[in-house]
Structures are given as structure tokens and as C-alpha cells.
């Protein structure tokens, strides 16, 4: 019974999602495909220059929404392949022509249009099957309850069972029960196949992936160099203003003590106490500085325990799940640790959350970290936000950041870094 109830909920949810995709998704795909074809055809008349970018942008939003559902509903990741627009696009009609040309020259645009065709045919069939596996057995219950009497003139076929009596109605019910149990095991897989089909067209080609990776790595390497230079300047400033100043003062005090130790022992004793206090404060500052560069708990006990230590210092209740059979390289662990630290800090400051969940696991050569809170939502990756810094930090290791944070919450921040564990 426990296994039955454990499978029933996810299967019914997948069936509902399949029904939604087969109705709403089909309607949107047909509408956008027709509008896109008409708009492209009207380019020769001049009208399409103004309508095509708008329609193709709507197509991209529809495709990106499907990418989001693929990730959140079936854990199917579909990368975004679109070429970025240059920052110096001219305004007015000239800019519209340039924008239209750039979008039509992007191979991803034509794959999007092909996907719309596939989505309204094979994709819709898979979505209908995902829904029907759980909904169709309901019809057998209705037939066995007496609906078969409506079809007394000729039998009503429930799959291969002709229903024209109570006995055949019960046979249809037996078949429906078999289909229901099969649906509980297969519905989620069928829904996932819908998204896998979409991925074959919506994901970038191998050449596009390599070009994006080279561009991304080039950008993140420059950012990493700038970040490292800024970090070195911060360390130099902290040493100069903190520990170095205290050590200089302590050295001066020791020189004064040396001169006073015979003439004024009481004053020398006071200066010794001051020197001892300065040395303790300098040591504390040095430890804090070292902890900011590479926390000792991370080096000694690994990423999982280091994140647990971070969570313990949060002002909100937290739960950390770790499934790491080994340790990643020190640089990867450090990047992941500080990324999680930044996310948790943002959560404590801005989310107004009551509980935070952190999950770390490694599968298929990928370190995956998710941080979920029950706060007010509204987080976004943007210029100047802490999430942008995390994205740059992960990008140095070819990692990615995904944020789902609707207004009202919950917020889920997912980070992935390709790596192997020792």
C-alpha cells in the first residue's frame, strides 16, 4: 500500500502535466508556428521586418518555458543555443532590419520552428499518452458501474473488450486496473520522453556548444583574473590596515619595553600586556583572513561538512543532505563552498525564509548543489546581484547556475560543476 501511494502521486501529477501540455502547449505551438510563417512571408512586403522579431521572440520564450518545465518536471536539461545580440544595434527601421536578419541567420531559430511542428504532432501524442495512461482507466470504472447499458444496441469497445453486459463491463474494469498499474510505472517515463524529444531539436548542436563553451570560458577566465587581482588587493589592504599595523605597533612597544625594563618596571609591565593583547588581536585577524581565503574545515573535512558548518551559523532553520562518495579538486570545492556561502547569505538577508534546504550530490560526472528556501521569492540573476557573481565563479569551472524564484516563493538555486571525485 505504501509503494502504491508513493507511486500514485507522482504518476497523477505527470498525467496532469501531460494533459496540460497536450492542450495548452499544442494551442500555443500552433498559434506561434502560423504567426511565424506569416510574419516571415510578409518580410518581402516590409511588414514582416517589424513583426518577425516580436513573433520569434515569443517563440523563444515558449521554447525557454518548455526548457524550464523539462528541467523542473522531468530533470531533462536543455541548454539555450541562441546567439547573443550585439550591444550596438541601431535604433529605428535599420535596427529592426538588423535584428530580423540576425534572428533569421541564427540556426537555433529554424530549429525552434521545426520543434513547433514536432511538438504539435509527435510531442502532443506523447503528452496525450502520458495523460491517458492514468485517465483512460477511469472510463473502465464508469462502464462497469453501469454506463454499458447506454450502448445496448451495439457494443462499446474498451480497447479490445466489447462492452455490452455487466460481465463484459467487469472485464473492461479488469483491463482498466491493469492499465492503471502500468500507467503508475510508465507515465513519468512517457512525459520524460516528451522532453527528450524536444531536447533533440532545442539543444545546441555540437559546433554551437563548442563555440559557446569557448566564448564562455574566455569571458570567465578574464573575470577570474580580475576577481583574483581584486582579491589580492583586498588581502593586501587587510594585512596593511590590520595585522601589519598591529605588528608594527607591537614592535614599537617591545622597543620601549626594552628601554624601560630597568628604569620603570611597572610601565614596562603595562606595555607588555598591551603587546600581548595586540599579538592576540593580530592572530585573530590573520585567522579570519585565512578563513576567508580557504576555510580550514573545507581543507580538513571536505565540502559536505563545510557546508553543514555554514548552515549551522544561519539565523534560520536549515537541513543539509550530502551524498558525495569522494572529494573534488580543492579549487572546485572552494568555488562550490563560496557559491553556497553567498546563496545562504542572500537567503538570510533578503528571502525572509523560515527554512532552508541544501542538497549536495554527485552523479554522471557532475557536482549538483541545490539551495531551496520557503521565502518570498523574486530572486533573479542580474547586473550587480550576488547571483551574478556566483555565476561568474562557477563559469570559471564550466559550471552553470539556474534560478527558479517566482514571486511569493519558493526559491530554488541550482548549481552544477563538472568534476570527478577522488
Long-range contacts of residues 143-149, Cβ cutoff 8 Å, at least 24 apart: 143/169, 143/172, 143/173, 144/169, 144/170, 144/172, 144/173, 144/176, 145/169, 148/172
Of the candidates 122, 140, 260, 256, the one whose C-alpha atom is nearest the C-alpha of residue 200 is 122
Q: What is the pLDDT along the chain (422 residues), one digit of tens a residue?
A: 444 455 777 778 888 888 899 888 889 999 999 999 999 888 888 888 888 889 999 999 999 999 989 888 888 888 888 877 777 667 777 778 888 888 888 888 999 999 999 999 999 999 988 887 776 676 676 666 666 556 556 666 666 666 666 666 677 677 777 777 777 788 888 899 999 999 998 888 777 667 666 666 666 666 656 655 665 666 666 565 666 666 676 777 677 776 767 777 777 777 777 777 777 776 766 665 555 555 677 777 888 888 888 888 888 888 888 888 888 888 788 888 888 888 888 888 887 888 888 898 888 888 898 888 888 887 777 655 567 777 777 777 778 888 888 877 788 888 888 888 87
Q: Residue 227's pLDDT is what?
A: 58
Torsions phi, psi for 402 (to 5 deg): -130, 135
DSSP notation for 28-77: HHHHHHHHHHHHHHGGGGTSHHHHHHHHHHHHHHHHHHHHHHHHHHH---
Which residue is listed with cell 530533470? Answer: 75
Of the candidates 383, 69, 82, 374, the one whose C-alpha atom is nearest the C-alpha of residue 391 is 383
List the 317-323 sheet strands across, edge first: 317-323, 355-363, 366-373, 411-418, 400-404
Q: Residue 1's pLDDT is what?
A: 45
Q: Tell me if residue 92 falls in helix, strand or coil.
A: helix
Q: Looking at the domain covering 298-418, what would its CATH class be?
A: alpha beta
Q: Which pTM was predicted?
A: 0.54
Q: Residue 36's pLDDT is what?
A: 92
Radius of gyration of the chain measured on its C-alpha atoms:
31
Q: Tell me if residue 338 falls in helix, strand or coil.
A: helix
Separation of alpha carbons 293 and 301, rounded Å: 16
Which residue is listed with cell 541545490? Answer: 370
Separation of alpha carbons 173 and 112, rounded Å: 42
Quick one: the chain helix, strand, coil %, rounded to 5?
70, 10, 20
Amino acid at each position: 500500500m505504501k509503494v502504491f501511494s508513493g507511486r500514485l502521486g507522482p504518476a497523477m501529477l505527470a498525467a496532469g502535466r501531460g494533459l496540460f501540455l497536450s492542450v495548452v502547449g499544442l494551442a500555443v505551438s500552433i498559434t506561434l508556428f502560423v504567426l511565424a510563417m506569416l510574419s516571415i512571408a510578409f518580410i518581402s512586403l516590409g511588414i514582416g521586418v517589424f513583426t518577425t522579431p516580436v513573433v520569434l521572440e515569443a517563440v523563444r520564450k515558449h521554447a525557454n518555458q518548455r526548457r524550464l518545465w523539462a528541467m523542473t518536471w522531468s530533470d531533462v536539461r536543455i541548454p539555450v543555443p541562441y546567439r547573443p545580440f550585439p550591444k550596438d544595434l541601431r535604433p529605428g527601421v535599420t535596427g529592426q532590419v538588423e535584428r530580423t536578419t540576425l534572428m533569421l541567420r541564427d540556426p537555433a531559430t529554424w530549429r525552434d520552428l521545426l520543434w513547433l511542428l514536432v511538438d504539435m504532432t509527435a510531442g502532443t501524442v506523447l503528452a496525450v499518452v502520458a495523460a491517458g495512461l492514468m485517465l483512460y482507466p477511469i472510463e473502465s470504472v464508469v462502464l462497469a458501474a453501469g454506463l454499458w447499458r447506454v450502448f445496448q444496441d451495439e457494443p462499446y469497445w474498451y480497447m479490445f473488450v466489447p462492452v455490452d453486459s455487466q460481465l463484459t463491463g467487469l472485464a473492461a474494469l479488469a483491463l482498466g486496473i491493469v492499465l492503471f498499474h502500468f500507467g503508475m510505472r510508465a507515465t513519468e517515463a512517457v512525459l520524460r520522453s516528451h522532453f527528450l524529444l524536444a531536447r533533440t531539436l532545442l539543444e545546441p548542436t555540437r559546433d554551437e556548444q563548442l563555440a559557446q563553451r569557448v566564448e564562455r570560458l574566455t569571458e570567465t577566465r578574464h573575470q577570474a583574473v580580475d576577481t583574483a587581482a581584486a582579491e589580492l588587493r583586498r588581502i593586501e589592504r587587510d594585512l596593511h590596515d590590520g595585522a601589519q599595523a598591529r605588528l608594527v605597533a607591537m614592535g614599537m612597544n617591545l622597543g620601549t619595553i626594552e628601554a624601560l625594563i630597568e628604569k620603570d618596571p611597572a610601565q614596562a609591565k603595562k606595555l607588555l600586556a598591551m603587546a600581548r593583547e595586540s599579538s592576540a588581536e593580530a592572530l585573530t585577524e590573520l585567522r579570519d583572513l585565512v578563513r576567508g581565503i580557504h576555510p580550514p574545515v573545507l581543507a580538513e573535512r571536505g565540502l559536505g561538512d563545510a557546508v553543514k558548518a555554514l548552515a549551522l551559523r544561519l539565523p534560520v532553520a536549515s537541513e543539509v543532505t550530502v551524498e558525495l562518495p569522494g572529494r573534488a579538486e580543492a579549487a572546485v570545492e572552494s568555488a562550490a563552498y563560496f557559491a553556497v556561502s553567498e546563496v545562504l547569505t542572500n537567503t538570510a538577508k533578503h528571502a525572509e525564509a523560515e527554512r532552508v534546504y541544501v542538497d549536495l550530490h554527485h552523479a554522471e560526472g557532475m557536482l549538483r548543489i541545490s539551495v531551496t528556501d520557503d521565502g518570498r521569492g523574486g530572486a533573479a540573476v542580474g547586473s550587480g546581484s550576488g547571483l551574478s557573481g556566483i555565476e561568474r565563479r562557477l563559469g570559471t569551472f564550466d559550471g552553470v547556475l539556474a534560478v527558479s524564484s517566482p514571486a511569493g516563493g519558493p526559491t530554488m538555486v541550482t548549481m552544477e560543476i563538472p568534476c570527478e571525485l577522488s
